[in-house]
Amino acid sequence: MGIYDIIHEKAKPYLDARQNEIHIDLSYAFACRLLSCYPDADEEIVVPAILLHDVGWKAVPEEKLANAFGPKAEDSESLRLHEVEGARIAGSILNSLNYDGEKTKEILSIIEGHDSRQESLSLNDALVKDADKLWRFTPTGVKIDHVRFGIERETHLDFLGTMIDTWLFTPEGKAMAREALDEATAASG
């Protein structure tokens, strides 16, 4: 078992909130695709960051989840809690594996602001942010989100189309979002 598999296994107990198991698997696939476009990015930072970025949702009480994320989010404190606790939990996991200290610092910095910080700190951060958001455009992401947010599917698809240039940082991420959204739209027709 490779180090990324071990990190993923250690993250799993924290991923049973918000259907994060599905989200992480799709986001990981997008991170790998993005890494293939950016040889200057550091896989040893991007992959652990994407695998661990949402472990902090486990610290948010179930009754607060619905208002902490999504288009109708009003609870910015719970959103921040998931980032701060996520960095703490990720640090504990990475330290238990004696993961490289400098890489761990950057991973934790990325996780601590992956949703609330509107700008990217680095290429690695931009790839994590894009991989995190890209799942929303997939047929699976659309199906999950339009139901959990109580938004009609077509309205949600239209909304996603307007957010590509706002949410995504890289040209490749934007192209992947358009491709996934076309697939999700075709699946609804």
Please give the structure tokens belonging to residue 43. Answer: 């896989």
Q: Among 52, 40, 56, which Cα is nearest to 122's?
A: 40
CB distance 179 to 186 below 8 Å:
no
Looking at residue 60, its pLDDT comes to 81
How far is residue 93's CA from residue 55's CA, in Å, rounded to a whole number? 10
Distant-in-sequence, close-in-space partners of 48: CB < 8 Å, separation ≥ 6 = 4, 7, 90, 94, 99, 103, 107
CB 81 within 8 A of CB 56: yes
Give the C-alpha separation, 123 to 104, whole Å.
16
Nearest to 81 by CA among 63, 107, 99, 61: 61
Q: Is the pTM of this model over 0.85?
A: yes
What is the residue-level pLDDT of the chain in tens, covering all 189 positions?
Answer: 799 999 999 999 999 876 789 999 999 999 999 999 999 999 999 999 999 999 998 888 777 766 657 677 675 776 788 899 999 999 999 999 999 999 999 999 999 999 889 999 999 999 999 999 999 999 999 998 888 888 899 999 999 999 999 999 999 999 999 999 999 999 865
Q: Which domain holds residue 138?
A: 3-188
Domains identified in the chain, total number: 1
The radius of gyration computed from the CA coordinates of the chain, to the nearest angstrom, equals: 16
Residue 52 near residue 10 (C-beta atoms within 8 A)? no
| CATH number of the domain enclosing 131 | 1.10.3210
Residue listed under structure tokens 């799942």? 135
